[in-house]
Amino acid sequence: MIYVDNITKEFKKTIKQPGLLGSFKSLFNPKTEKIKAVDGISFHVPKGEILGFIGPNGAGKSTVIKMLTGILTPSSGTCSIDGRIPQKDRKNYVREIGVVFGQRTQLWWDLPLTETYAVLKEIYEVEDSAYKRKMELLNEVLDLQDFIKSPVRTLSLGQRMRADIAASLLHSPKVLFLDEPTIGLDVVVKDNIRRAIAQINAEEKTTVILTTHDLSDIELLADRIVMIDKGRNVFDGTVGELKQNYGQMRELNFELQRAEDKALLDYGKHFGLGEDDLKVISDGVNVTVRFNSELVPVGDMLSYTLSQVHLSDISVKDADIEEIIRRLYKKEVRIDA
């Protein structure tokens, strides 16, 4: 369905010297350098899949999305949807896609929401009957009826985001691009939007590419993750594979009956674990032990702890996707992708 093949994007950046004098200098003798925002990214998304496209700020996510939506022209490499290339056949290409940029709106700011939908209907040449059916469905999944008659400028962020998502789906696109659709929203609205995305995906087989910094979006929606950093692919696989590959670090939390018992525990020496595989944090009677469960099974960890000290409480935490991704972003985990 969507093929991205070794795509790159370079931006020319003028190096400004500081101060007013420097600005004048760079006006007449500009020094430019080339910045590779995207440096050879490839992935493939089959029809009907929800792909979580993630990476730290400045990784090049938006640049890739903008190339895929035909806004930017790639410096090299190709992307295509159903064999269509956005830069060659823009008009037919964009008919197949819906785009939501969370930080921008495509709604007519000064007019009631219904007006935007009426114009989009004409722009995308949606048939009357199809339009009516679609509006009913979108109304139902996104709860638009409360504010559909209000001018867009009076909508809250949550309402505006729902309205924008509806606007992007009006023409039944085959692919929906969502760039940070839950940014700045409260839990209830986030939940509503996630359910809507899941429902549209299930009912219409719409392929979804989703970028977000909210990893719950990814856990709840994404079939697969593509992670990029500094313009390159870092990981491509399912959430399960991510946990399997990078989720060996487990966390043991317990509360000691007597704080001074801490001296009795020496995990490093007992199991022979190095710094990379073990981290012990303690605060009074509360102790947190992060360890590599591939080297030391959870059971061994538990029995050693219980044999050494008396506890009033204990819990073991599973590999948390958020923790894994935090570690990937901070390069704590080596990547062999």
Partner 1 sequence: MLKEIKRLLKMHRIFIAQDLKKLMEYKVDFLTGMLGFIVYQTINLIFLWVIFSNIPALKGWTYEQIIFIYGFSLLPKGIDHLFFDQLWNVGYSYISRGDFDKYLTRPLNPLFTVIVERFQVDALGELIVGVALMASTVGSVSIQWSVLNVILFLLIVPFATLIYTGIKIITTAVAFWTKRSGQITHVFYLVNDFAKYPTTIYNDVIRNVITYIIPFAFTAFYPASYFLTGENPLFNLGGTVVAAAVLMTVGVLLWNKGMSVYESAGS
State the residues that interact with partner 1 by CB under 8 A.
11, 62, 66, 69-73, 87, 90-92, 94-95, 97, 99, 101, 103-104, 106, 108, 110-111, 115, 119, 122-125, 151, 179-180
Question: In terms of Cα–Cα distance, which of 40, 37, 97 is closest to 69?
Answer: 97
Closest separation in Å from C-beta 291 to partner 1:
39
Closest separation in Å from C-beta 36 to partner 1:
14
Query: Quick one: 124 or 329, whose CB is closer to partner 1?
Result: 124
Question: In terms of Cα–Cα distance, which of 44, 12, 35, 11 is closest to 226?
Answer: 44
Estimate the share of the chain in helix, then strand, then coil, as percent rounded to the nearest 5: 40, 30, 30
Closest separation in Å from C-beta 327 to partner 1:
26
- Strand-strand pairing, 224-229 and 278-283: unpaired
Closest separation in Å from C-beta 210 to partner 1:
15
> What distances in angstroms separate CA 307 from CA 224, 273, 301, 311, one per listed residue?
42, 19, 10, 10
Closest separation in Å from C-beta 315 to partner 1:
40
AA letter at 19: G
Determine the Cα–Cα distance for residues 315 and 251; give it in Å rounded to an integer.
8
Query: Quick one: 217 or 323, whose CB is closer to partner 1?
Result: 217
> What distances in angstroms separate CA 64 from CA 51, 75, 182, 324, one per listed residue?
14, 11, 19, 23
Closest separation in Å from C-beta 4 to partner 1:
17
Query: Quick one: 69 or 233, whose CB is closer to partner 1?
Result: 69
Query: Quick one: 122 or 146, whose CB is closer to partner 1?
Result: 122
> What distances in angstroms separate CA 271 from CA 248, 264, 295, one per listed residue?
16, 14, 9
Query: Quick one: 78 or 199, whose CB is closer to partner 1?
Result: 78
Phi-psi region of 331 (alpha: psi -120 to 50; beta: other; left: phi over 0): left
Closest separation in Å from C-beta 171 to partner 1:
9
Query: Quick one: 55 or 247, whose CB is closer to partner 1?
Result: 55
Determine the Cα–Cα distance for residues 263 and 305; give it in Å rounded to an integer.
12
Query: Quick one: 97 or 200, whose CB is closer to partner 1?
Result: 97
